[in-house]
Chains A and B, each alone.
Chain A
Amino acid sequence: MMSMSTILEINQLSLATTNKKQLVTDVSLAVGKGKTIGIVGESGSGKSLTLRAIIQLLPPTIIKVGGTIRCESSCAMIFQDPVSALDPLCPVVRQVAEVVSYRQHLSRKTSRTKALELLALLGLPEDLKRNDRYPHQLSGGQRQRVLIAIALACRPGILLCDEPTTALDVTVQKQILELLAKLQRELNFALVFVTHNLAIASALCTKLYVMKEGRIVEQGRTQDILANPQHAYTKMLIDSVLHLPDLKGVIAGE
């Protein structure tokens, strides 16, 4: 099953709380180099915990009770809430530069230049070069861009995204998703995308894993799953997506 290009492989991962409550059971998944997979499921399905297990960021009361995680490359993670993931008392360029200097072993000055390059790549305003800003001076979308910059500063082979756009408005969400796709093409990292939004996952990912109550109930190529769902839960998820009529507007919006 393991092919040459697999960059991350999880085998029969099980997680439980310290008082023996099983949270994640026998989760196996594999990600190829530069590929995108999506993990979909509702709250409490264990999707975020699986993600956290990969970068060993489990909460102290939850432990791995079985299975292996094999990771060929460095991982970085983007969180759902860009407000609490940034240090509120540290200007953003400094936060990015700190990670650059730590992960890439560069001097303070070059890491600052690198950080600014990264932020520019992510479409943050140019004037950060002159006056650095604190996180609360940025909008939600900008903060999420800063977070992505920090994640990319680690030069990850795998980018883990935990509901990165849930806290954002739809127009900003669209920009961030497009940005992630563009960066992935340029930097060729693998993307593990956790979301409860089936529409986002199916638009972004080539392969989907559907999780429910700590287990993977269905997996496969996105189009196969959507066209021909096997598990009742997957069908229910697909049916609960609210459809919109197609726009017929002639206004040049984009």
Chain B
Amino acid sequence: MSDALQIKNITVNYGGFIALNQVNLQIDAHTTLGLVGESGSGKSTLAKVVAGLVTPDEGEVRFSEQVLRKRRTRMQHKAIQMVFQNPDASLNPKHTVRQILSEGLLFHHIVPRSQLMDRCRELLALVHLDEDALVRYPYAFSGGQRQRIAIARAISVEPNLLIADEPTSALDVSVQLSVLELLHRLKEKLNLTMLFISHDMGVINAVCDTVAVMRQGRIIEVSPKEQFFLHPKADYSYQLLSAVPRMPIFNR
């Protein structure tokens, strides 16, 4: 069973506004695809379509050779998980970390109830958080820590595809780097296929194998990373890349 994702002719209309227009995209198994584009280009909508939060008006999403329909099976739900942008809003404020982590574990019968606590501790260790976090509520954590908890929740159900929707854009640069490293390491360790959305070219360059550029609801370029950053095919990609502020290079 290959963990490849195929998106075919997806169109999404939001009351007359075309958010996605005949989008075709393919992510090879165990690779990371970076989706870039400016605000309003439809990146997040595409992520929601893959995650099953938005039902497309046309087209289909296939994962591991299965068509994902409006109502997904439990296995299909389990296979695709998502990490969101805003660390303040991605955890239920009334739940402890233990509740947050164990919900998916129990629902998908990942571990028997007797091993639940052990598993929660393992998950926290994976994202470099202390065990005593289990009894605390989300407000007791910083933005970066919350994002780690959200990542732990996403990987708790042992997904095959992880969608990360701007997971670091609300974080400070120093924290951003550690979260990116964490995601990269987990991806290697768990052999994940990843859809990584960001407007930050630096972040995309750091984590992705392939880059896709979106503009106004369409994919306008898909290239391997090395090629994209050196010789982008589309005019617009070139504009995007040249607009990124760069550090002047000084001799160190």
Query: Could you tell me which A residues sit within 8 Å of B by CB distance?
Result: 42-43, 140, 169-174, 177, 196-200, 202-203, 222-223, 226-228, 236-249, 251, 253-254
Contact = CB atoms under 8 A, between A and B. Distances in A.
Given A236-B174, A248-B231, A249-B238, A242 B246 contact: no
A247 B230 CA distance: 5
A128 B248 CA distance: 38
B202 A247 contact: no
Nearest to B249: A226
Given A226-B250, A240-B176, A253 B245 contact: no
Contacts of B231: 248-249
Nearest to A166: B169
B139 to A, nearest CB: 16
B232 A241 contact: no
A114 B163 CA distance: 50
Interface in B220-245: 226, 229-232, 235, 238-245
Nearest to A195: B245
A245 B231 CA distance: 10
A253 B247 contact: no
B173 A240 contact: yes
B67 interface: no
A242 B199 contact: no
Interface residues of B, number: 34
Interface of B: 38-39, 172-174, 176-177, 199-203, 205-206, 226, 229-232, 235, 238-248, 250-252
Given A226-B250, A247-B242, A42 B229 contact: no
Nearest to B235: A251
B205 A244 contact: yes
Given A248-B231, A254-B242, A242 B205 contact: yes
- The winner among B173, B231, B232, B239 for most chain A CB atoms within 10 A is B173
A196 B172 contact: yes
Contacts of A223: 248, 250
B233 to A, nearest CB: 9
Contact of A171 (B38, B232, B248): B38
A244 B201 contact: yes
Nearest to B177: A240
B230 A245 contact: yes
Nearest to B143: A43
Nearest to B205: A244
A170 B240 contact: yes
A248 B245 contact: no
A42 B201 contact: no
A196 B201 CA distance: 16
A140 B39 CA distance: 10
B250 A170 contact: no
A169 B199 contact: yes
B240 to A, nearest CB: 6
B248 A202 contact: yes
Given A196-B172, A198-B247, A240-B177, A253 B202 contact: no
Contacts of A238: 247
A42 B245 contact: no
A196 B173 contact: yes
B172 A42 contact: yes
3 A-B pairs with least C-beta separation: A242-B202, A227-B250, A169-B38
Contacts of B248: 202-203, 222-223, 226
A242 B246 CA distance: 9
A195 to B, nearest CB: 10
Nearest to A140: B39
Contacts of B206: 242
